[in-house]
Structure 1
Amino acid sequence: MGINPPDTGDLHVSVEDLDAAAEYIERLKQYVEDTISWEMERIKENMKGDSNSPQIVSNGTPFGAFADARLQWQALERSTANMEAHLKGLSAKLAGLKKGTEDIAKAFRDAEERNAANGKDIERLLESAASPPGGAEPPTYPYTA
């Protein structure tokens, strides 16, 4: 049992749309890095509590010093660290997505340039070809695109 390749017979690629997608991905990445990461820093600062008032009880948390309060505080710290790690991962994945989109756009742009150059070479070769013997002109056909 084999896997059939996708049918790409009518595939059309807009390099401009790919460039626009890369710019949009960059804006998303900047939003994650600037806005959301800044909010995470603000949350972590708020979690530190009031540093001007010393803890009365050792091993106390902003939730209190009893065992359940310490467990809840540890859970909140883990949750905050996990969210921060996810944001860093998201930023890295967006950077990779942007790079891949730019690479695809570059590949199609290069292919279009090669195709245009090859077309010009073929035109030049056809124009420089010798006329058929006997001086007869080759028939001309209307150009249709």
Structure 2
Amino acid sequence: MGDIRPPDVGDLTVSVEDLDAAAAYVERLKQYVDETITYEMERIKERMKGDSEHGQTVPNGTPFGAYEDARMQWQALTTSTANMEAHIKQLSTRLAALKKGTEDIAQAFRDVEARNAATGKEIERMLESAAPPPQAGGTPPSTYPYTA
């Protein structure tokens, strides 16, 4: 294997506005998963219950019937549905974490930009308040309180 060099980030720029937009987009995706997909999953589970007004008359019956093959198919469908529900919950959780992480990164860049601006203003203030250096030739600058 060859050596792994770090990425070249010489021209890397960060747009806090784009990060905010990405967080908002992820939030919309999460809402879609939480509202639309979860609702449809609940509808599927309700339809799987079958006709509740006409209960099964056969012991160990399923909506597919009471034969062994029908019970196996019903178990496979139930397992598949439960797995899908778990994946939907996991997706929602991960989208929430992605949104939080994106917001944290955006806030970190805002904080860095604010510190940089404050540091720049502090440096400007210090430079403006400093007395100019004496000129060559021994003549003091006119800002000194004494005259030569």
TM over 0.5: same fold?
A: yes
Paired residues in the alignment total 137
Q: TM-score, normalised by structure 1?
A: 0.90
**Alignment match of 2:141 (pick from 125, 128, 135):** 135
> Equivalent residue for 2:61?
60
Question: What does 1:1-145 correspond to in 2, within 5 Å?
Answer: 2-133=3-134, 134-135=140-141
* RMSD between superposed Cα atoms in Å: 1.4
Q: Give me the whole-angstrom Cα distance separating, in 1, the residues matched to 2:55 and 2:133.
A: 101
Q: Deviations over 1:29-64 (max 9, x none)?
A: 010011000000010011011111121211111111
Q: Give me the whole-angstrom Cα distance separating, in 2, the residues matched to 1:7 and 1:66.
A: 64
Q: TM-score, normalised by structure 2?
A: 0.88
Which of 1 and 2 has higher RCO (CA within 8 Å, sep 6+)? 1
Max radius of gyration: which structure?
Answer: 2
Deviation at 1:136, TM superposition (A): 7.8
Q: Give me the whole-angstrom Cα distance separating, in 2, the residues matched to 1:115 and 1:3.
A: 32
Unpaired runs of 5+ in structure 2? 135-139, 144-148
Deviation at 1:3, TM superposition (A): 3.1
Task: Report runs of 4+ in structure 1 exceeding 6 Å deviation.
Answer: none
> Equivalent residue for 1:143?
none
